[in-house]
Amino acid sequence: MAGKTVLKLSGVERHYGQGETTLSILKGADFELHSGEIVALVAPSGTGKSTLLHLAGLLEHPDAGEVFVGGHACNGLPDDDRTAIRRSEIGFVYQFHHLLPEFTALENIMMPQLIAGLPEREAKERASQLLDYMRIGHRGEHRPAELSGGEQQRVAIARAVANAPRVLLADEPTGNLDPETASYVFDALEALVKQSGLAALIATHNHDLAARMDRRVTIDGGKVVGF
Ligand SMILES: Nc1ncnc2c1ncn2[C@@H]1O[C@H](COP(=O)(O)OP(=O)(O)OP(=O)(O)O)[C@@H](O)[C@H]1O
């Protein structure tokens, strides 16, 4: 059963450029994401998957329409408020892990919590717990370069959810991994979402992974549609 709405896009438009060369990517897109669900965003290259994730993650402003995160209408808010909402409500995972190379896996996961002002002991405890959930509890003291691609992505996912956001946005999180490793990373992500009641929107070109998610949406004619 669907949980409550944690992310909502309503009539969202995004156009790039001006005049005759305007590229209209989103043209009145509506979308809702509910706690506890994992939704696949599968669409051909260039149709606007990253654009949609950036708008949902409050990294960009829509040209029209509204983005609601955790019930807040975000478009007209000052940048500081948008940043505060983004930090507390949203976690991001990208195709490449972007972990800090000079820090261990555990320290990378602790980082967002320390920035948010959590005491070191608590941050460490939560980071260890997340490493266990992601089934890499034994790799906490290793630096990113000492980890496999799948392990690095699991650390990146743990870091993205370290501050207990409501929404996880992922742009091709397994795009850099072989199919077996991708499936294993997805297993861990799925377990985490189901255990925590998080909601995840995952852009992927991997149809096998998309088939395992709760719902699948695509971008067609600038709108988000289920398929
Ligand atoms: N800042 C920008 N200025 C101009 N055009 C842009 C900008 N950002 C994106 N675009 C264009 O908008 C379209 C959608 O881009 P987007 O990155 O959202 O697609 P995508 O579906 O994520 O593609 P891919 O699967 O290849 O990553 C593309 O044609 C892209 O060139």
CA 47 to centroid of ligand 1, rounded, Å: 7
**Cα end-to-end span (Å), the chain:** 19
CA 174 to centroid of ligand 1, rounded, Å: 19
95-121 burial: b if 16+ Cβ within 10 Å, else e: bebebeeeebbbbbbbbbbbeeebeee
**pLDDT at residue 26 is higher than 70:** yes
**Residue 47 CA, closest ligand 1 atom number:** 21
**Interface confidence (ipTM) of the complex:** 0.96
pLDDT in tens, 180-201: 999 999 998 999 888 888 999 9
**pLDDT at residue 18 is higher than 90:** no
Per-residue model confidence (pLDDT) at position 114: 95
C-alpha–C-alpha distance, residues 107 and 130, integer Å: 12
**Residue 17 CA, closest ligand 1 atom number:** 4
Walk me through the domains of the chain, giving residue ranges and CATH numbers. Answer: 3-97+163-224 (3.40.50.300)
CA 59 to centroid of ligand 1, rounded, Å: 14
Backbone angles phi, psi at 147, to 5 degrees: -110, 155
Determine which of 147-151, 160-164, 194-198 has the lowest per-residue pLDDT on average: 194-198
pTM of structure:
0.94
